[in-house]
Structure 1
Amino acid sequence: MKLKNNRILKLATVALVLTIVSCKEESKSVSVTNSKQTGSHPNLILTQESVAEIKSQLGNVPVFDATLAATQKDVDLAIQEGIDVPVPKDMAGGYTHSQHTANYKNMQKAGVLFQLLEDEKYAIYVRDMLLEYAKLYPTLGRHPQERSYARGKFFWQCLNDSNWLTYTSQAYDCIYDWLPKEQSDYLNKNLFRPYADFLSIETPKYFNRIHNHSTWGNVSVGMIGLVMDDEELVNRALYGLKDLDIDTNAIDNDGGYIYDKDGKAGFLANLDSPFSPDGFYTEGPYYQRYAMYPFMIFAEALQNKKPELKIFEYKDAVLLKAVDALINLTDADGEFFPLNDGQKGMSYYTASLVSVVDISYYHGNKKPELLSVAKAQNAVQLNASGLAVAIGLRDGKEKPFLKKSIELSDGANGDEGAVGILRYNDSNNTMALVMKYTGQGLSHGHYDKLSFSLYENGEEVLQDYGLSRFVNVEQKNGGGYLKENKTFAKQTIAHNTVTQNETSHFNNDFEIGSNNHSEKYLFDASNPEVQIMSATETNAYPGTNFHRTMLLVKDATVDIPYVIDLFKVTSEKPNQYDLPYYYFGQIIATSFKTEAPKSLTPLGTKNGYHHLWKETQSQAKADNIQFTWLNNRKFYSITAATTNEDAIILARIGANDPEFNLRRDPSIILRKKNTKATVFASIIESHGDYNPISEKANNAYSSFKSIKVLLDNKKYTALELQLKSGVSKVLILANNNASKEAKHTLKINDKNYEWSGSYYFK
């Protein structure tokens, strides 16, 4: 495969060099009577200096050359197919939506090709397309699809219109000096300035808030302002609209959007508020990925046009930190963890992240670790930052981007909880344990305090459901969010965390959730054999406190790291508590009896329970249960401490879902009823594999015999783990003192334990 890729790269490079020579020869006879030869454009993403440097390097930078060749192939095909600017009609995934999306992407690429290849056909393509849009724009009201809170012009929502303007601004910059002044004046007056006003002044509840939508809005207005040298638009983008007669604390009916309470808005406010000092974006990695392109592309434009702003130094270089944080929020395959609303499978191979990685490398001291990500992406942005990456790759400067255990704080000041990631890496196996103890996450947040997910070698072992949406699939609600996103995916029972009395955290109330966050308690990954993270939640239910502690353990007793999950619950009154584990695959064995019902019934009536089929329910009737399943040819087991009265429920997503919008994924739910204080204690392990060719099962049984709660009070919780080998281990957590210097002495069952620090594990 490597040899094949190298051959393709060489062929693409040769073809590109021949094309460049041909274009240069043809350009000698091209009329330039309509060109403004004394202009200053391009000056946003490309500059006159960077264009000259790129031209001098063409044919000598393989990844850049191959990307340029692929881009030229795409745009040449688009030119051959002709210009199509349809009257807007469809939602996401429909013909008109897809065509306008293709148009802005092709225009952006064509503008770059005009600058780098000096072939006027690309400028003509952009010009002719823009003139068609300039004719269409004045005839349009808001989009005929009325679902969005902020309906656009060319698209069903202003968000996509801002996508269009952000990309098209780059194309316009590339041909600005080539256009006759009367044409640029015409486009400015009839298309671009009205469009910028529409997205801002005419739609303030879209433009003037803290949210990824507004970031796109701010950036689109700022980008076209930079092209037209319109300082008023640039300031509007940077600082938001002033003196607006709108409710700055409003929450809309659609998605719970909340505006910044002090009225502060604009691009800089969207840098200040959603990003933590560690670079974590409060909406979650899926939307951080989406927002990073406008953040970084506008920052690059500002760096080129207004270097005095020092935008890459803003908030202690938070944009550069955010790129590192985002890469760390991926599994072994580069796919983003689906925290909050997140579509599974989205990864840093997406085209927007190619630009983001390149810009971060070029403007962030050229970290060689980013080159390894760019090498995996196998493409670059066609400007100075992409050229720098391509040169670094050509010269072999890359170093591995090692994703290590990390805690990323949430909140503008880093004091609103965090996401913890514990990792284990060796040549044969990778594990990633992700625990979420953040703030709400704006409108895309879920009601899932102290939830977690587990990955092995890039595959989900215990999953976060993610979002309920088929992006750009027209048949599924026009590509928009499905109602099941609210009725199931956001609900607490859809996540691997505790639900009380079949009611979601904060009673599924966005405003209450937004005013509260979990608290970090402990994070220590200094010992690769025993890594630990711990957090508390005291506001999800009035009068109830949660404290979850998770360990990733690799020791001599097992081949693969295992997880210890300790979830302590205390409440002022008796409640029912449910802790689900959402797994994949086939059940292999259970230590409890299971009976298949003659017909299925929903597990409950609301709060996501009505979307779960109850496949079986059993009493534990033991102080331990064990559950083993097979997925991706690997065996996994959960060993959990129980009481005789605890219920074990096997459930499956899909009830009350007539349009089959939800995946039919299974779960095992541990239920404790009529209880004030309790502890859920479990061991989660990967322990063997199955070969369907040799039909051999290797290490198909759990290594553990039991897990037992030895002690639980306000100060300490202690567990005993017993392996089938006869080895036993004790975990003791200090519940109220996470200090590493604290000294503890505790007697359990006539045995004395002494240690320093927040926990004991031997």
Structure 2
Amino acid sequence: MTNKIDLILKYSLFLLVFIMLSCNNKETTVIKNKILKDNSNAKEAHPKLILTAQGVKEIRAQLGSIPIFDKTLQSVKEEVDAEIALGIDTPIPVDYSGGYTHVRHKSNMMVMQKAGVLYQILDDEKYAKYVKDMLMQYEALYKTLPLHPKTRSYARGKLFWQCLNDSNWLVYVSQAYDCIYNYLTKEERDTLESNLFKPFADHISVDSPQFYQRVHNHSTWGNAAVGMIGLVMDDQELIDRALYGIKDLKLDANKKDDDGGFLNKDGKAGFLANIEEPFSPDGYYNEGPYYQRYAMYPFLIFAEGLHNLKPELKIFEYKDGVLLKSINALLNLSDADGDFFPLNDGQKGMSYYTSALVTAVDISYHFGTQDPGLLSIAQKQDRVLLDDSGLAVALGIKNNQAKPFTKKSINLSDGPNGTQGGVAILRNEAIELVFKYAAQGSSHGHYDKLSYSLYENGEEILQDYGLSRFVNIEQKGGGNYLKENKTWAKQTIAHNTVTQNETSHFDAKYEVGSQHHSVLNYFTSDNDNVQVASAKETNAYPGTELLRTMAIIKDQDFEKPYVLDIMKIISDKANKYDFPYYFLGQLIQTNFDYKVPATLNPLGSKNGYQHLYIEATANATSENTQLSWLNKGKFYTLTTLTDTNDQLYFTRIGANDPDFNLRREAAFMLRRKNAKNTIFVSTIEAHGSYSPVTESAINSNSNIKQLEVVLNTDAYTAILITNIKGNTKLFITSNKNASKTGKHNVTINDKNYEWSGSYYFK
């Protein structure tokens, strides 16, 4: 390719000299300027978007000496070579997610991107020819396509059933086009840009404002798609449309789409608005880690293109560098195995091993502070991007600069200004507690104020259900969200929090829930032995105030750290409260007798209750109710305060689910009727182990003898914890005035307690 350009330049210079000798001075000047301009265009630096011309030189110089990069390159080469051998298929689109045509076009976009990179790094024209031939097939196909025949989406694409996937395609293909740009003739480029890329970008944006003109992860993909092809084509109109949205566009601001969101009433749209609104100053993304992971690829890959080609924007410094901060936040929103906590609509098992997080880690390292902890994540991922940032990571690993990425307790604020609640993660040894007091989370939010989930070494102890969807499995609703996502997964009873009068928070209305958020009372992780998060919710149920305080306590009398959970409820009327614990594993023991019904019946008829079978019932018989279970070789015990009026239920998910869309998992639920002001207090212990090889159980019994509320006022709540040896510990939480410097003095059972800070424990 280089030789071809050199020959063109030499011929042009020869022609210029000939013309200059044959023309008058004025004609010579005009023609000379035109030829110089054409030559300048011919020498324009491509690739320039993600992989850069300088990066290609540096990569070629290092090949063979950078193990993780070389390994990734070989793997990608084998993948692309196999695809080339199979031939090109660009079928007429007919399927939902998971169907052949959907999967084929999705595969094509990724293979084109990889083939373009291989062409640049290996300087082998077969890869450029493959991309060119496929693009020409798409050019011939696209201009014949109507809207996709599947009509479920609020914004239909042409290659795919929704504009979202069309945007995915263009984000990847813009990189491929950049890599083979100089391989193509000007005529070929004009054909592709006029008949494929420009119409493609227009359909995503101008033709689909209900998709594009929003603050949402869908729109972020659309912005990146339009902007990236605009950068490659040097089309300022498309670049501006990507950054700032469509100007002078009149929308029906009250039109609701079937994704649960609304068109923007205030005109906020475009890539910059999608950075401003969803991210808190701490880098938390309001839709939750599952969708943050999905959105990080377009956020970061477009940002890298803007950094390379529009450095004046200082995109990685925008909003105090929140894009790079968000990667650290996202990594902290994963458990010990790297799986993201399934907050909101989150699929379990999604982890930082996904390709989007390879992109995030590499870009963060290259354009950020070169945190050596990121290198250890990259080592676990065992692959890098085949571009400038991937080279930087590969060199860092080669030079033994990697250090462990240490996850500690962290509090992440929510909302564009960090004032709309948040998510607190308490970590102590192998125990991780995820406490959610965030805002609604856009259309992917659940009605789960002050909910939590609990983990040990990456294994769930008390679970958040996550989403109800079989992503990209066509047989299950076309791979899309199932109706049970709304009837079960989003409902309050599906979470480890309180449900009042069998009605979900905000009556499960998005329009109401999106107006409110919980408020942090305090968060403290300074003490390695006691880490606490406390938050208040006053809008989930009008007239009812919920204050939940959760602590992980490390006590020398206990084998492992344990959880203390205090839910204080103040209401203006008597209510029925349901408080579930979604435990995973096999029931081992209870300190109460229960009855098992002859037939299974649902717990209720709506708001998620219709999906719960009643497997057993009991009445509380003591002030402390206990149950223990075994899961994956470890024992756990729940101890909870009860009175003799409390009803106890064992439930199981799966009622009114004829298609078996829901997992058949268990819960223990405490029901308290006719209560106005009340308090739920419990501990969860992790203890002991069981080996099926030696058939031995070690430390299988709880270490807690009794929980007791010894003070409960507007200002303070105090819990006395007595273990089986008779040793006691007192925990006092400040319900008000909970600053770190606040001074407190209370009297309990004629004994005075003084302390500074948010809580007391001794």
State the TM-score, normalized to the length of structure 1.
0.95
Deviations 1:34-63 (A, max 9, x none): 999623211100111111111111111110
Structure 1 residue 317, shift from structure 2 partner: 0.3
Q: Does 1:58 align with 2:31?
A: no
User: Is residue 194 of structure 1 aligned with residue 199 of structure 2?
Assistant: yes
> Are the structure 2 counterparts of residues 79 and 30 from structure 1 closer, same or farther at C-alpha, using a change threshold of 3 Å?
farther
Partner residue, 2:370: 366
Offset at residue 708 of structure 1 (A)? 1.4
Between the aligned partners of 1:758 and 1:102, the Cα distance in structure 2 is 54
Kindly, what percent of the aligned residue pairs are identical? 60
Secondary structure of 2:182's aligned partner: coil
Q: What is the Cα deviation at residue 286 of structure 1?
A: 0.2
Alignment correspondent of 2:19: none
- The match for 1:620 is 620
Q: State the one-letter code of the partner of 2:178.
A: D
Superposition pairs for residues 236-635 of structure 1, below 5 Å?
236-248=241-253, 250-252=255-257, 254-425=258-429, 430-635=430-635
1:740: how far off?
2.2
Structure 2 counterpart SS, 1:102: helix
How far did 1:746 drift? 1.8
Detail structure 1 runs of 4+ shifted over 6 Å in the superposition.
27-36
CA contact (8 A) 2:154 2:259 kept: no
Equivalent-residue separation in structure 2 for 1:304 and 1:78 (angstroms)? 31
Please state how far the C-alpha of 1:249 moved relative to its aligned partner: 5.0
Shift of 1:750: 2.5
Task: Tell me the distance in 2 between the aligned counterparts of 1:468 and 1:408.
Answer: 26
Shift of 1:698: 0.4
Q: Within 1, Cα distance between the matches of 2:759 and 2:694?
A: 44
User: Do 1:37 and 1:178's aligned partners in 2 also have CA atoms closer than 8 Å?
Assistant: no
The whole-number CA distance in structure 1 between the counterparts of 2:265 and 2:328 is 29
Q: Is the 8 A contact 2:324 2:364 kept in 1?
A: yes
Match of 2:702 in 1: 702
- What amino acid sits opposite 2:279 in the alignment? F
Find the aligned partners of 1:711 and 1:529 in 2 and give their Cα distance. 23
Q: Which residue of 2 aligns with 1:158?
A: 163
Alignment partner of 2:77 out of 72, 76, 79: 72
**CA shift for structure 1 position 373:** 0.7
Mapped partners of 1:249, 1:734: distance in 2: 43
1:167-246 equivalent positions in 2, closer than 5 A: 167-246=172-251
Using the alignment, how far apart are the partners of 2:404 and 2:596 within structure 1? 50
AA paired with 1:418? G
For structure 2, the residue ranges without an aligned partner over 5 or more in a row are 10-38
Query: Secondary structure, in 3 states, of the residue corresponding to 2:576?
Result: strand
What secondary structure sits across from 2:486 in the alignment? helix
Q: TM-score, normalised by structure 2?
A: 0.95
Q: Report the alpha carbon displacement of residue 28 of structure 1 after superposing the two structures with TM.
A: 8.8
CA distance in 1, matches of 2:7, 2:736: 76
Stretches of structure 1 lacking an aligned partner (at least 5 in a row): 1-23
What is the DSSP-based 3-state SS (H/G/I as helix, E as strand, rest coil) of the residue aligned with 1:560? Answer: coil
SS of 1:397's equivalent in the other structure is coil
CA distance in 1, matches of 2:7, 2:539: 68
Cα distance, 1:711 vs. partner?
2.1
SS at match of 2:688: strand
Partners of 1:263 and 1:619 in 2: how far apart? 55
Q: Tell me what 1:10 maps to.
A: none
- Check whether the contact 1:30–1:120 (CA below 8 A) recurs between aligned residues: no
Contact 1:90 1:145 in 2 (8 A): yes
Distance in 2 (alpha carbons) for counterparts of 1:711 and 1:424 = 27
Deviation at 1:753, TM superposition (A): 2.1
Q: How does 1:607-756 map to 2 (within 5 A)?
A: 607-756=607-756
TM-superposed CA distance for 1:596, in Å, is 1.3
Match 1:44 to one of 40, 49, 58 = 49
Asked if the contact 1:219–1:298 (Cα under 8 Å) also holds between the matched residues in 2, the reply is: yes
Between the aligned partners of 1:709 and 1:352, the Cα distance in structure 2 is 48
> How far did 1:480 drift?
0.2
Larger Rg: 2
Tell me: CA distance 1:32–1:645, structure 2 relative to 1, closer, same or farther (3 Å). farther
Range 70-79 or range 716-725, more displaced: 716-725
Confirm or deny: 8 A CA contact 2:718 2:730 kept in the other structure: yes
What's the CA shift string for 1:147-190, capped at 9, x where partnerless?
11011111011000000000000000001111011010000000
Q: What is the CA distance between 1:407 and its match in structure 2?
A: 0.2
How far has the Cα of 1:693 moved from its partner?
Answer: 1.3
- Cα distance, 1:591 vs structure 2: 0.8
Paired letter, 1:712: N
Aligned AA (1:359): I
CA distance in 2, matches of 1:748, 1:260: 54
Residues 1:205 and 1:133: Cα distance change in structure 2 (over 3 Å): same
Partners of 1:270 and 1:754 in 2: CA distance: 47
Give the Cα–Cα distance (whole angstroms) in 2 for the partners of residues 431 and 260 of structure 1: 41
Q: Secondary structure at the match of 1:177?
A: helix
Query: How many pairs does the alignment contain?
Result: 732
Shift of 1:30: 13
Shift of 1:367: 1.2
Deviations, residues 440-475 of structure 1 (Å, cap 9, x unaligned): 000000000000000100111100000000000000
Q: Which amino acid counterpart does residue 464 of structure 1 have in structure 2?
A: D
User: C-alpha separation between the residues in 2 aligned to 1:753 and 1:383?
Assistant: 61
DSSP-derived class of the 1:122 partner: helix
Deviation at 1:366, TM superposition (A): 1.1
